[in-house]
Structure 1
Amino acid sequence: MPPFPIRRYLTPLIHVLVWGLFALSLVLLNPVLGRFSIPPQFWIKQALVFGLWVAAFYLTAYVSVPRLLLRGHVGWFVATILLTTAAVMLLAQLTESWLNLQQLMDQQFRGGGFRAGRGSLRPRRFDMIGLLTTLLVLGISTSIAAVQKWQTDTQRRQELEQQKIHSELSLLKAQINPHFFFNTLNNIYALTVVDAAAARQAIHTLSRMMRYVLYETTADTTLLSKELAFVQDYVTLMKLRLTERVRVELEWPEPVRDVPIAPMLLLPYVENAFKHGVSATLPSRILVAVRQPDSATLELEVRNTRFPASATSLDEGSGIGLANTQRRLELLYPGRYSLRVEEATPEGEFRVFLTLHVV
């Protein structure tokens, strides 16, 4: 048996309870009800006025406020409130005349021995209490409608912001992945010319990496161990093309403490080092170090030799990976990351240091 949808009926129930308490308070707060014989016409008039207040409340909340006040028609809204108040007071007065309530209450007033000027239920020519109550009801209605609209707009903005973030992340992933595979396929194409066995091994490594991209990057996070294995496969694939002039150093935490991390977040920094930090003619060095000072912090340090602009790099590319990764950091880890880039260290290296608070 499905559970009772209590949330569906919670708001109507609250409205019924509030109006019930309001009606009860109107009865209990009258000081002379217990000392006065009330004709039934009085209760008919009070019930009608109460119904008019309820109608005015919902008319203001669901018509006047959304269609006038929230659309900037303040003048028309004020005029509508005044007309609504006048209509309630006029209908109350007409009902009183129709029920001949004035004469009946005068008779009860005289028969009860009350002198003029003392508290009684005798109808007055102008009902100030009724006017103030009507204005109070309309004021509460306006306030509730405005607050609900503000809450709805806030929730809608948050939902749109989340959708925008997810759309941007999907676009960034789509940009990073083809960029990476474009470079990798170029590497394998060059490798088939000089070493077919190494090319087969490279294809096997690439297939393992493609499996990671297809099945792991669809989720928001992956395990750090899987991300590091993916980076290591990339480095292994790139080293197949390197000469002895290039020294590649990897530092991994031992053991790796698995924490959730956004997939394909570390690769662009490593890819950038191989793209710009390797020369075909000059000695070069690449360092990729991943550290875990504690279970909630991840550090990535990437160093590569910095060559003059005229030097020939190992790969050519658009360089969109780093820019997209910076944007992903802003979206996924706002206020929880630190990125420092040193374009020229004293050792003649390009250095990237990323600190990520993953938990």
Structure 2
Amino acid sequence: MQEYQYPEKIFYRHSYYISVTIIASYFISYLIIPRLILSKSYYVVVLYFLIGSYLICVLSRIAVIYLLEPLIRLQPFGQESLWVIATDLPKLLTHYFALSFSTAWLFSFIKLIRDQYMSQQRTMSMGKEKAQAELKVLKAQLNPHFLFNTLNNIYALSLTASPITSKSIAGLSEILDHILYRCEGPSVPISAEVSLIKNYLELEKLRYDERLKLSFVHSVDEELAIVPLVLLSMVENAFKHGAGENVASPVIDINLQLRSGLFEFKVSNSYFPAYRESSSERIGLVNVRKQLELVYGKRHQLSVSTENNIFVALLIIDLRVKDKTGLTYENKVSFSG
């Protein structure tokens, strides 16, 4: 067996083993496993596997006897016929099948794990892009809705040549600055949203004068970030369906609190049952609910209730966990319902 020690003969042997292993690996990874995953008939896949494995083993033995051995063995030596090679099943199974497919299974397993990982990454990427696209659509629905109502307010003031028209325009300018230039990202500081609500309330107070009973209480123990404009949408919804329908003495109470990462935002407004919408959910709150679900999922709770002609919208968000915007916080609060 001294002839096997020459470097060129070792190269021939290794080249043969690598070639057979590559063929078997691709057969398992790209023909059998995909069919096994997608096929409805496993018997057909098993038949493909048996036929393919048999052919690979036969071709492997033919390559050994008629190609490899003449290169690495000294003449003369006997060679088996093609019929003997094809019908010697014990030899094909115990030697050539084990030789060809031992590494192929490992390669196929690694490829399967890699494919699953890449598939999950693509799914996550597509889900993130879908969520971002839906958020843009929801914001596009929100901003024109708010601008339309505010411009109507200023238009009503201009018809009466009210001296507060210019002040209203200045307030609207600050609101537009926030919406157009500070809400491009997935989140904004809560303090910025508080300032936005204050500007909006000042604008609405100019419209309603003393008829409006308005209260805005806010308490924030640390600066955290929140998805932009949803708070404004809830406030604007209260004015549209509360103060806008109650021509006598509308009442709106707003309470904002952030304590140890738990954010609570409560908006209460009076309403006339005669003007109450037949639908159980106002369109403004429907958009808010969709946007919050995209960003916070089960880490938020938005509930509405009515009692004694008072409509209450309560939003609770846990801002101490990693949300879909990529912001990372510290602890977790579970909500029921």
Per-residue CA deviations over 1:223-269 (Å, capped at 9, x if unaligned) read: 1111110011111111111143321111111x663211111020111
- Tell me which residue corresponds to 1:50: 17
Who is 1:335 aligned against? 298
Match status 1:91 vs 2:91: no
Provide the rounded CA distance (Å) in 2 between the counterparts of 1:256 and 1:198. Answer: 35
Q: What is the match of residue 205 of structure 1?
A: 171
What residue identity is the alignment partner of 2:318?
A: H
Of all paired residues, the percent bearing the same amino acid is: 26
Which whole-Å CA distance do the structure 1 matches of 2:34 and 2:301 have between them?
Answer: 48
Q: Distance in 2 between matches of 1:82 and 1:173?
A: 61
- TM-score, structure 1 normalization: 0.73
- Size of the aligned set, in residue pairs, is 297
Q: Is the 8 A contact 1:89 1:131 kept in 2?
A: no
Deviation of the 1:205 alpha carbon: 0.5
Give 1:322's match in structure 2, choosing from 272, 285, 293: 285
Give the conservation status (yes or no) of the 8 Å contact 2:138–2:291.
Answer: yes
Asked if 1:302 corresponds to 2:271, the answer is no
Which of 140, 147, 153 is the aligned partner of 1:181?
147
CA RMSD, Structure 1 to Structure 2 (Å): 3.1
Equivalent residue runs for 1:66-81 within 5 Å: 72=39, 74=45, 76=48, 79-81=51-53
Relative distance call for 1:48 and 1:204 in structure 2 (3 A) is: closer
State the distance in 2 between where 1:333 and 1:54 align.
Answer: 49
* CA distance, structure 2, for counterparts of residue 303 and residue 240 of structure 1: 20
Task: Determine if the alignment matches structure 1 residue 292 to structure 2 residue 255.
Answer: no
Give the CA deviation at 1:144.
2.5
AA paired with 2:253? L
Looking at structure 1, the residues matched to 77 and 274 of structure 2 have their Cα atoms a distance apart, in angstroms, of 102
Supply the AA of the counterpart residue of 2:317.
Answer: L
Which runs of structure 2 are paired with 1:53-132 in the superposition (5 Å)?
A: 53-57=20-24, 59-60=26-27, 63-64=30-31, 72=39, 74=45, 76=48, 79-95=51-67, 97-99=69-71, 101=73, 126=91, 128-132=94-98
Distance of 1:103 and 1:211 partners within structure 2: 91
Where does residue 81 of structure 2 map in the other structure? none
SS in 1 for 2:207: coil
Distance 2:257 2:18 in 1: 71
Counterpart secondary structure, 1:291: strand
Query: What is the TM-score with the length of structure 2 in the denominator?
Result: 0.77
Query: Residues 305 and 348 of structure 1 are in contact (CA less than 8 Å); yes or no, is this contact kept in structure 2?
Result: yes
Distance 2:194 2:292 in 1: 18
Return the alpha-carbon distance in structure 1 between the equivalents of residues 212 and 109 of structure 2.
Answer: 71
Q: Which residue of 2 aligns with 1:224?
A: 190
Tell me how far apart the structure 2 counterparts of residues 192 and 77 of structure 1 sit (CA, whole Å). 82
5+ unaligned residues in a row in structure 2: which ranges? 79-89, 321-337
Within 2, Cα distance between the matches of 1:183 and 1:80?
A: 71
Contact 2:28 2:105 in 1 (8 A): no
Moved more, 54-63 or 164-173: 54-63
Give the counterpart letter for 2:134 in structure 1: E
Distance 1:283 1:216, change over 3 A: same
Q: What is the alpha-carbon distance in structure 2 between the residues aligned to residue 39 and residue 271 of structure 1?
A: 87
Query: In 2, Cα distance between the equivalents of 1:78 and 1:171?
Result: 54
Instruction: State the 1:357 CA deviation.
Output: 1.4
1:351 maps onto 2:312 in alignment: yes
CA 1:147–1:336 in 2, change beyond 3 Å: closer, same or farther? same
Shift of 1:63: 4.8
Structure 2 residue identity aligned to 1:167: A
- TM-superposed CA distance for 1:308, in Å, is 1.6
* Matched-pair contact (CA < 8 Å) for 1:64–1:80: no
